[in-house]
Amino acid sequence: MTPAIGKRVHMEPQTIHREDIVRWINDFAQVVAVNRDHLTELDAAIGDGDHGVNMDRGFRAVAAKLPSVGDKDIAQILKTTGMTLVSTVGGASGPLYGAFFLQEALSSAGKEELSLTDWIAMLEAALNGIIARGKAAIGDKTMLDALAPALQALKDAAIRNATLAEALTQSADAAQDGMQATIPLVARKGRASYLGERSAGHIDPGAASMYLLLKTAASTLASG
Partner 1 sequence: MKKLINRADDVVRESLEGFAAAHAGMVRVNFDPIYVARIDAPVRGKVGVISGGGSGHEPLHCGYVGMGMLDAACPGAIFTSPTPDQMLEASKAVDGGAGVLHIIKNYTGDLMNFEMAAELARSEGIEIDTVIIDDDVAVTNSLYTAGRRGVGLTVLAEKITGAAAEERRSLKEVGDICRQVKDWGRSMGMALTSCTAPHIGHAMFELPDDEMEIGIGIHGEPGRKRMPVQPADEITDMLMEPIISDLPYRRGDEVLLFVNGMGGTPLSELYIVYRRAAEIAAQHGLKVVRSLVGPYITSLEMAGCSITLLKMDETLLKLWDAPIKTPGLRWGI
CA–CA gap between residue 132 and residue 123 (Å, rounded): 14
Cα dist from 109 to 76, 79, 212, whole Å: 8, 10, 25
Give the nearer residue to ligand ADP in terms of CB position, either 54 or 171.
54
Q: Does 51 bind Mg ion (CB under 5 A)?
A: yes
CA–CA gap between residue 126 and residue 157 (Å, rounded): 19
- Name the DSSP class of 16: E
CA–CA gap between residue 33 and residue 89 (Å, rounded): 14
Cα dist from 91 to 19, 85, 125, 133, whole Å: 30, 11, 22, 13
Which one of Mg ion, ligand ADP, partner 1, none interacts with residue 57, CB within 5 to 8 A by kind?
A: partner 1
> What minimum distance in Å lies between the beta carbon of 47 and Mg ion?
4
Which one of Mg ion, partner 1, ligand ADP, none interacts with residue 207, CB within 5 to 8 A by kind?
A: ligand ADP
> What minimum distance in Å lies between the beta carbon of 47 and ligand ADP?
5
CA–CA gap between residue 92 and residue 55 (Å, rounded): 11
Contact yes or no for 36/50 (Cβ under 8 A):
no
Which one of Mg ion, ligand ADP, partner 1, none interacts with residue 107, CB within 5 to 8 A by kind?
A: none
Amino acid making up residue 151: L
> What minimum distance in Å lies between the beta carbon of 205 and ligand ADP?
4
Give the nearer residue to Mg ion in terms of CB position, either 27 or 41.
41
Contact yes or no for 27/7 (Cβ under 8 A):
no
Give the nearer residue to partner 1 in terms of CB position, either 71 or 197.
197
Give the nearer residue to ligand ADP in terms of CB position, either 193 or 219.
193
Which one of partner 1, ligand ADP, Mg ion, none interacts with residue 206, CB within 5 to 8 A by kind?
A: ligand ADP
Give the number of other CB atoms < 10 A from CB of residue 164: 23
> Strand runs (DSSP E) across the chain, as ranges?
16-17, 113-114
> What minimum distance in Å lies between the beta carbon of 154 and partner 1?
26
> What minimum distance in Å lies between the beta carbon of 47 and partner 1?
7
Per CB under 6 A, residues contacting ligand ADP are 43, 47-48, 50-51, 54, 91-93, 96, 130, 134-136, 142-144, 189-191, 204-207
Per CB under 8 A, residues contacting partner 1 are 40, 44, 47-50, 53-54, 57, 86-96, 98, 133-134, 186-191, 193-196, 198
Q: Residue numbers of the site for Mg ion (CB under 5 A)?
A: 43, 47-48, 50-51, 91
